[in-house]
Amino acid sequence: MPHVDIKCFPRDLNDEQKTALAADITEVLIRHLNTKDRSVSVALNQVQESDWQQVWDNEIAPQMATLIKKPGYSM
């Protein structure tokens, strides 16, 4: 049951673009994790740039050793 929780700075995406993003991510998960479409969920949480430090402190920095793709920046 893969669940992807995307956090990003606000983007002006319409519903069609959000649906396309979720479909692309789902396709990758199906291919790489050998899962089914019905098993995938995707969330898009837009975070103000001024609040990104909290994302870094609570979710990125504590998991740095286990991230399979590390960011190219630090805070």
pLDDT in tens, 23-72: 999 999 999 999 999 999 999 999 999 999 999 999 999 999 999 999 99
What string of DSSP letters covers 18-66? Answer: HHHHHHHHHHHHHHHH---GGG-EEEEEE--GGGHHHHIIIIIGGGTTT
Domain annotation for the chain: domains and CATH numbers: 3-63 (3.30.429.10)
Q: Does the annotation count 62 as an active-site position?
A: no
What letter represents residue 59's amino acid? E
Which residue is catalytic, options 2, 10, 62, 71? 2
pLDDT of residue 11: 96
Categorise residue 7: left if φ over 0, alpha if ψ from -120 to 50, beta otherwise.
beta
pLDDT of residue 18: 98
pLDDT of residue 17: 98
pLDDT of residue 20: 98
- pTM, whole model, 2 decimals? 0.87
